[in-house]
Structure 1
Amino acid sequence: MEDVLLPVLIVGMLFIGLPWLILHYLTRWKSNTGISQQDEVLLDELHELARRLDSRIETIERIVADENPTWKDSRIADHSEQRRALK
């Protein structure tokens, strides 16, 4: 009985299981067309939040620069240090 069952299982897996597995993942891959509408809305909200935060940081830096003339913009200083490190 085992002599017949093992080859039947192997043939079944080769001709039924393997093609089913390949076709299953091919259809899943093709149905994934990109980001969903919900993800796109979230991305837009995050972009707007980042823009507003950047504006707030610039405002704070201008206020600090007005109050303390020797203060140096840390973003400019960090950028110059990175340039020197690359050279």
Structure 2
Amino acid sequence: TADAREGLGRFPDGWADLIVADVFSGARTPAHLTSAGFLTEVRRVLAPSGQYVANLADGPPLAHLRGQVATAAAVFPELALA
């Protein structure tokens, strides 16, 4: 077991077909797992056709969620929200 960001550093480039983030501290994802640096590391570990899935939570006015989407859009060329 390791912190998610620290643990990603142990994997080689292109290793994963799927990475799922479902990490919460209370009602929010810890800040160090919401940065462009973390998502860049996720992208590095993903295979070229790999996918990153994140469970994000927020309440009105959805400022935290909007920030997360903007950060992901800066790192990944395609996004889908459900």
> Which TM-score band applies after superposition, normalised by the shorter structure?
under 0.3
Q: TM-score, normalised by structure 2?
A: 0.21
Which structure shows the higher strand fraction?
2
Query: Could you state the TM-score of these two structures normalised by the residue count of structure 1?
Result: 0.21
Q: Which has the higher helix share?
A: 1
Indicate the structure (1 or 2) with the bigger Cα radius of gyration.
Answer: 1
